[in-house]
Amino acid sequence: MKSTLFCPNCEYRGDADTDWVEYTLRGHTQRRCPACYDVVDRRPARGDDDAWARYTAPVQSSLVAWKAGLHRVSESVKQLTSL
């Protein structure tokens, strides 16, 4: 079953999958009317969560490494002070 989109600006009707101009900007996919170029649909881009995870993963892993290093330092300080 085909879904039809309807432009509220110029009343253009077209197939939702093929007739509309799509592009992604700042994490959002915008769908524009090919007749009047008005934005008819706006939603978060697919795969945005993956991009965010890729962006934060190095930060999080370095934070874990930093905490582990801090733990090792505090353990060695404990060993030094217990002598």
| Minimum CB–partner distance for residue 35 and Zn ion (Å) | 5
Q: Decide the pairing of beta strands 13-15 and 4-6.
A: antiparallel
**CB contact at 8 A, 13 and 6:** yes
Q: Which of 36, 51, 68, 77 binds Zn ion (CB under 5 A)?
A: 36
Site string for Zn ion, 5-24 (x = CB under 5 A): --x-xx-x------------
Provide the Cα torsion 55, 60, 66, 70; round to 10°: 160
Q: Does 33 bind Zn ion (CB under 5 A)?
A: yes
Q: What residues line the site for Zn ion (CB under 5 A)?
A: 7, 9-10, 12, 33, 35-36, 38
